[in-house]
Structure 1
Amino acid sequence: MADLSSSGMFLPIHTQGTIPCPTCSTPILPSSANQCPRCLSARADLTSPLPRHLSLLYCPECVSYLQPPKTYLRADPESKQLLSICLSRVKKPLSSNRLKLVHADFVWTEPHSKRIKLRLRVQGELDRNTIVEQTHVAEFQVVDHLCDSCSRANANPDQWVAKVQLRQHVPHRRTFFYLEQLILKHRAADRAIRIQETCDGIDFCFSNRSHALKFVDFVSGVVPARDRSDKRLVSHDSKNSTYNYQYTFSLQICPVCREDLLCLPPAVSRSLGNIGPLVVCTKVTNSLALLDPATLRVAYLDAKEYWRTAFEALMVSRQLVEYVVLDVDEKNVREETVGGTRYCLAYMQVARVSDFRKNDNIFTVKTHLGRLLSRGDYALGYDMYASNSNNREIEKYKGLVIPDVILIKKSYKETRQRKRGKQRTWKLKSLGMDVDATTAKGKMDMEKREHEYEQFIKDLEENPDQTFNISLYKNKDYQPSEMASMAGGDDERLPLDELLAELKLKDMEEETDAESDADSMMDCDRH
């Protein structure tokens, strides 16, 4: 072959010749091996330095695998976490032999075979111009071995390393019932080896201090609480300079609950923009949502600012009195939304239900429930006219005009009477707590707890907004009555469509494993 140049002369074109592969006669470029990549790959074995049989230490109690030297990581079958643990075992042989990992995935094995097979696709350079890609299968044998924390827990269940003590000094357990549902929804107490219910709170025992600290952070993020920690020396080895401690974390929850009436101290009222001083707690999270029922002003008091003064509630929910609305004089057009609930100011004439046929006391009140109450409705409120409160904070305000009645919420007493004896379409899960019901005091506490739990369920029925952070499950034992089926369903404030179906743990694990397998395949393909 020749090419015509600009001067009109023909110049030769130099081309590189090819030679046939001595095995398969495929044309290839000359090299030191003088073989095509396919034949060279079949003849040379790049994966010979890589291990084919390895072992993995597995703790069946906490479903975790050993990540050398002493760390146990929780990993589901065929998940990305398990893939990273297996790859860490073959990473050193790959780097020492200058091999590049192209792809990695799991090979299906029998779930009860105690075997995990990992398929690796690696690349290596046999010659300067020859790169070979081969597949290697590494088989891991799963060996059951309890981690240190689980072995101590199995040897003695009462031998805990860290304990979290939840306490709230109030005469009811509404906060603990609500907190229990949050813990179940977010699985915050999965690492607890023991949960024990006491007369004024709950104790959570953990086998690791880090698990207790994580639980403390979770509780402090959902309720206003302050914590205090302490530790006790259990054993000491002077030769190895090792110490074993037992850690105790005390969490004191704010004694202010939802629907409590508060009288703010003057310093707190000024810091919140001169709100109140008589306010109603409408919502409790990591801060307190305070509403002035006379002006619809809203303020939020965080945990640090509350514990700086630490005042008590003026009146609590146990002191609520039932009223009947006789007339609605005037409603304000302006509305305010607090925690998903809309409020409207209104002037109403109310009377105590207990005063019927006894006296004719009628009170004219200004309330924030103008949007919810109408003539003939029932409401629950605090009777400030007949109460005698000895509160330090209220005495600091000179000339303070205290209203006769402060309405808190609408009453659904008639609806409860109609539903009495009916079965609920939903149910709640509970923590497996140890309760001492052998003594007489324990039996009385159990009866009191069941009564308070029923009141908590009724509050959820009356206020569906509270179920926003709570998981509800369908009640499989529910059977609608004949009258309800003819009418088209029971009169339930909580719709059945919004309830969560009670899934089996096996189905949830299969779905999680499928998602993890897909994620691991996508990540390996990117590399």
Structure 2
Amino acid sequence: MLQRASNANQYFTHWVTAAPESRELLALCLRKLRGLNKVRIIDASFVWTEPHSKRIKVRVTVQQEAFEGAIIQQSFEVEYVVASQQCPDCAKSYTANVWRASVQVRQKVPHKRTFLYLEQLMLKHSAHKETINIKEVKDGLDFFFAQRNHAEKFVDFLSSVTPVRVKKSQALISMDIHTSTKSYKFTYSCELVPICKDDLVCLPIKLAKQIGSIFPLALCHRIGTSINLLDPNTLQTADLPSNTYWRAPFASLANATELVEFVVLDIEPLGEQSGRFFLAEATVARASDMGVNDNTYFCRTHLGAVLHPGDSVMGYHLTGTNFNDPQFQELENSSTYSSRIPDVLLVKKFYARKKKPKRNWRLKRMAKDEGELLPKKADQDRMDADYEMFLRDVEEDVEMRNTLALYKAENKKEADAMSMTETDLDDDDEVPKISMDELLEDFEDLQVGE
């Protein structure tokens, strides 16, 4: 008996592909016969059978020495029965609701803030409505689609909102040899730039000169279709296009998880303004050094409009910090730029909040399949911290808030902390609040009678 795949000329001995009456099929038939190793095969050929009879006949001629040089030769026919069986590729093609295209979105950063922002953009623009499944994996998400054009549309959406590098691959599922019709699965690999908002980057000196002669040590203040950089010492801005970055990619020098809290001792505006940034000179001290030593740091900052003496501010402490980065070492060895490296680089004002603040707004979340990567308690705590940091960014950044869809909080006593937050009017007055005019009604939750 020969086991053959139902929709292809594949026979089961580790699934060998063999055409009808081919040498491969003849060798497969001979291997099925027992005892041929004891005789000498003189000839083997196929005998014609009806193509749809599920039968294969082979005429075999063998020789063997009997005694004292006498040789016996005999010819006989062997009939094989062909039994249909699904090979792994056929099983995939017959599976119901199977995906035809997948988009693998990856970003190698220690937090999920970028994916939380992308999630809100997808919800606002309904970019995920054609997906049949969303799976959470390490360093990103996998989106599965039933049609190839849906996946390509989703990739175009990603390219329109964030710097991304796309690679495409395809795998053959099945092929009809009679009509030459082939079925493929397509996979799109989308790698996001490993630089996020509020990250500190050190540009190669040559690249810094190409994008406007900005100081190589810059702050990423926004991620759009390109990387928007800011020099806090001069308020100079520059845009790093996605294709320029991917020609010579580099990682961020420090990310938002390494921010240090400082206290503003004195601040003096310099009168220079660029958009929402105001240049000022500030004297700050680390919050952990207050009452321990008298170390203070003098720096320039772009936060002159929001900082006042006594405020807390988050920034990067560069003095005494060792960075294992070739671009930063090149900057330190440069006679032109080494003297301009600041001791402290301030990023954003820090607002003291409660551990679990209540808000008058909420964000929607997408239903994702966690798969086999069920989060541990430590991972869940990290995800909660990332989501809380993202909510604070939404409150403090007006430009980001204008690109998202915020909804009024539901009037429920029990709510999921990852998907909903409520309001508290007794919070500190300095904490940024979102007015009710910016919030939308969620019509899916409204129960309207006929």
TM-score, normalization: structure 2?
0.72
* Correspondence 1:228-307 to 2 at 5 A: 228-307=167-246
Partner of 1:98: none
* CA distance 1:482–1:363, change in 2 (3 Å): closer
Distance 2:395 2:446 in 1: 31
Structure 1 residue corresponding to 2:358, chosen from 400, 423, 434: 423
1:390 Cα offset (Å): 1.4
Q: Post-superposition shift, 1:449?
A: 1.8
Deviations 1:173-199 (A, max 9, x none): 000000000001101111111101112
Confirm or deny: 8 A CA contact 1:437 1:443 kept in the other structure.
no
Which of 384, 388, 411 is the equivalent residue of 1:477? Answer: 411
**Distance change in 2, residues 1:481/1:228 (3 Å):** closer
1:189 matches 2:124: no
> What secondary structure does 2:208 align onto?
helix
Among 89, 99, 110, the alignment partner of 1:171 is 110
SS at match of 2:270: strand
* Residue matched to 1:85: none
Query: Retained in 1: the 8 A contact 2:226–2:240?
Result: yes
1:500 aligns with 2:440: yes
Distance in 1 between residues matched to 2:133 and 2:423, nearest whole Å? 44
Percent identity over the alignment is: 39
Displacement of 1:426: 1.0
Q: Is the Cα–Cα contact under 8 Å of residues 358 and 422 in structure 2 kept in the other structure?
A: no
Match of 1:211 in 2: 150
In the alignment, the residues of structure 2 paired with residue 475 and residue 178 of structure 1 have an alpha-carbon distance, to the nearest angstrom, of 19
Per-residue CA deviation, residues 318-375 of structure 1 (Å, 9 max, x unaligned), is: 11000000012x32112001xxxx1111111100000112211011111111111111
Provide the residue aligned with 2:344 in structure 1.
405
Q: Structure 2 CA distance, aligned partners of 1:276 and 1:472?
A: 37
**Counterpart AA for 1:303:** S
Of the three residues 457, 464, 475, the one matched with 2:391 is 457
Give the helix-richer structure, 1 or 2: 1
Q: 1:174 to 1:153 in 2, by over 3 A?
A: farther
Amino acid at match of 1:218: F
What is the CA-CA distance between 1:454 and the residue it aligns to?
Answer: 1.9
Post-superposition offset of 1:452: 1.4
For 2:256, give the aligned amino acid: S
> What CA distance in whole angstroms lies between the structure 1 residues aligned with 2:227 and 2:135?
28
Kept after mapping to 1: 8 A contact 2:410/2:422: no
**How far off its partner does 1:477 sit?**
1.9
Contact map agreement 1:325 1:379 (CA 8 A) in 2: yes
Alpha-carbon offset, residue 442 of structure 1? 4.9
Partner of 2:297: 363
Which residue pairs with 1:448 in the alignment?
382
Q: Extract unaligned runs of 5+ from structure 2.
A: 1-91, 414-420
Once the two structures are superposed, what CA deviation does each residue of 1:361-407 show, in whole Å capped at 9, x if it has no partner? 01111111111111111100000013111111122231312211000
| 482 and 322 in structure 1: CA distance in 2 versus 1, 3 angstrom threshold | closer
How far the C-alpha of 1:305 sits from its partner, in A, is: 0.6
Structure 2 CA distance for aligned equivalents of residues 454 and 396 of structure 1: 36
Equivalent residues of 1:263, 1:277 under 8 A apart: yes
Tell me, in whole angstroms, the C-alpha distance in 1 between the residues paired with 2:191 and 2:214.
Answer: 26
Distance (whole Å) between structure 2 residues aligned to residue 282 and residue 481 of structure 1: 28
Counterpart amino acid of 1:231?
Answer: Q
Letter in 1 for 2:439: L
Q: TM-score, normalised by structure 1?
A: 0.61
Q: Which amino acid aligns with 2:272?
A: R
Q: Which residue of structure 2 aligns with residue 391 of structure 1?
A: 325
- For structure 1, the residue ranges without an aligned partner over 5 or more in a row are 1-151, 511-527
For the 8 Å contact 1:426–1:499, the answer to whether it is kept is yes
Q: Deviations over 1:120-163 (max 9, x none)?
A: xxxxxxxxxxxxxxxxxxxxxxxxxxxxxxxx999534x21000
| Matched-pair contact (CA < 8 Å) for 1:153–1:193 | no
SS of match in other structure, 2:141 = strand
Q: Are 2:288 and 1:350 aligned?
A: no
Q: Distance in 2 between matches of 1:481 and 1:500?
A: 14
Aligned partner of 2:166 in structure 1 is 227
Q: 1:505 to 1:218 in 2, by over 3 A?
A: farther
Partner of 1:120: none
- Note the 1:328-339 alignment, pairs <5 A: 328=267, 330-337=268-275
Check the 8 A contact 2:351/2:430 in 1, yes or no.
no
Q: Distance in 1 between matches of 2:423 and 2:257?
A: 37
Counterpart for residue 65 of structure 2: none
Q: Distance in 2 between matches of 1:251 and 1:438?
A: 21
Partners of 1:163 and 1:247 within 8 A in 2: yes
463-472 or 201-210, which moves further after superposition? 463-472
The answer to whether the Cα contact below 8 Å between 1:343 and 1:369 also exists between their aligned partners in 2 is yes
User: Contact 2:395–2:401 at 8 Å: present in 1 too?
Assistant: no
Aligned-partner residue type, residue 201 of structure 2: L
- C-alpha distance 404-153 of structure 1, shift in aligned 2 (>3 A): farther
The answer (yes or no) to whether the contact 1:425–1:478 under 8 Å persists in 2 is no
SS at match of 2:326: coil
| Conservation of the 8 A alpha-carbon contact between 1:412 and 1:462 | no
3-state secondary structure, aligned to 1:393: helix
Residues of 2 paired with 1:249 and 1:196: CA distance?
15
Change beyond 3 A, Cα 1:153–1:404: farther
Distance 2:206 2:442 in 1: 49
2:234 match: secondary structure: coil
In structure 1, what residue type is equivalent to 2:387? Y
Measure, in 2, the Cα distance between the counterparts of 1:450 and 1:507: 31
- Paired residue total: 345
